[in-house]
Amino acid sequence: MNKIIEKKQLNATNILFRVEAPEIAKKARAGQFIILRIREKGERIPLTIADWDKDSITLVFQPVGKTTNELAELKVNDKILDLMGPLGTPSHIEKFGTVVMIGGGLGIAPCYPIAKAMKQAGNKVICIFGARNKELFFWQDKFKKVSDEIILCTDDGSLGIKGFTTDGLKQLMQKGKIDRIVAIGPTIMMKFITLTAGDIPVVVSLNPIMVDGMGMCGGCRVLIDGEVKFACVDGPEFIGQKVDWDSLLNRVKTYEEEEHKCKINLQ
């Protein structure tokens, strides 16, 4: 059982939980995730570790279905049944030169530990964040401490560049050399960032349907360079230029009908 020690509504759609988890916090590295359950026979939710300190880890999520809505009901001092992790291969951190971190919506949160580690490794870190409108950005002060520049893009033009993160990237590519891109957000965004980047290596964090998170169920399989890989153990990070985006986009849509029914039942 893991106690929730802080709960914050970051904006209209995203919630932050800081959860007591000293064993996970001790081992956590940038890019890793946990799987949580709130009930014995309940759904397993994979969430990237967005930050940690000595005794706790920070999780940021969006209530979108039955379990994430139940999770959102929990309060400070309530306990999560179990957290499994840290899972997945940590991010590849080294001094690349100029690293561009791209976060779309909720995907902004998991960019934080990677940006921090890239900065500590001596890189110039530029962040491009995208959201539907200006109210949906969060953690700008936190990111200022670990990056050299932040470029904001909004779908509705209420702040920064009017357009998607791909528009921010196109403008930045005209200004100077980029050595590496890390993109986290909607699958479609990660696909189009990869297409926009040309031959600049793009690291994407994939979150297809996960079940056991331990490489045994095959639920999270993705095609990388024509080979089957499991996002939970071989990833979650892969080089975008090697991902078979069409098969991944089909897989993430597998339960679209059930998800739609689930959302209707929640209304």
β-partners of residue 84 are 35
Query: Least distance (Å) from ligand NAD to the CB of residue 135?
Result: 12
Position among 58, 207, 213, 234 found at the interface with ligand NAD (CB under 6 A):
207
- Going residue by residue from 224 to 243, which x/- string records binding to ligand FES, judged by CB under 6 A? ------x-x-----------
Contacts 24+ apart (CB under 8 A), 219-225: 221/251, 222/247, 222/248, 222/251, 223/247, 223/248
The yes or no reply on residue 192 touching ligand NAD (CB under 6 A) is yes
The yes or no reply on residue 107 touching ligand NAD (CB under 6 A) is yes
The yes or no reply on residue 86 touching ligand NAD (CB under 6 A) is no
DSSP for 75-124 reads -TT-EESEEEEEESPPP-----SEEEEEEEGGGGTTHHHHHHHHHHTT-E
Q: Contacts with ligand FES: how many residues (CB under 6 A)?
A: 12
Query: Least distance (Å) from ligand NAD to the CB of residue 5?
Result: 22
Per the listing, tokens 């026979």 go with 41
The site partner of 185 among ligand NAD, ligand FES, none (C-beta below 5 to 8 Å per kind) is: ligand NAD
The site partner of 211 among ligand FES, ligand NAD, none (C-beta below 5 to 8 Å per kind) is: ligand FES
The yes or no reply on residue 113 touching ligand NAD (CB under 6 A) is no
Residue 252 carries which DSSP code?
A: H
Which of 153, 149, 244, 242 lies closest to 199 in space, CA to CA?
A: 242
Amino acid present at 80: I
Position among 217, 223, 239, 252 found at the interface with ligand FES (CB under 6 A):
217
Q: How far apart are CA 56 and CA 18, in angstroms?
A: 6
The site partner of 192 among ligand FES, ligand NAD, none (C-beta below 5 to 8 Å per kind) is: ligand NAD
Query: Least distance (Å) from ligand FES to the CB of residue 180?
Result: 26
Nearer to ligand FES, 16 or 224 (CB): 224
- Going residue by residue from 129 to 168, which x/- string records binding to ligand NAD, judged by CB under 6 A? -xxx--------------------x-x--------xxx--
DSSP for 192-228 reads HHHHHHTTS-EEEE-----SSSSSSS-TTEEEETTEE
Position among 189, 200, 243, 248 found at the interface with ligand NAD (CB under 6 A):
189
Q: Which residues contact 105 (CB under 8 A, 6 or more apart)?
A: 13, 62, 130, 131, 132, 136, 185, 186
- Of 49-57, 133-141, 147-155, 211-219, the segment contacting ligand FES by CB under 6 A is 211-219
Which of 252, 254, 225, 228 lies closest to 240 in space, CA to CA?
A: 225
* Residues at the site binding ligand NAD, with contacts judged by CB under 6 A: 48, 104-107, 110, 130-132, 153, 155, 164-166, 184-186, 188-189, 192, 205-207, 236
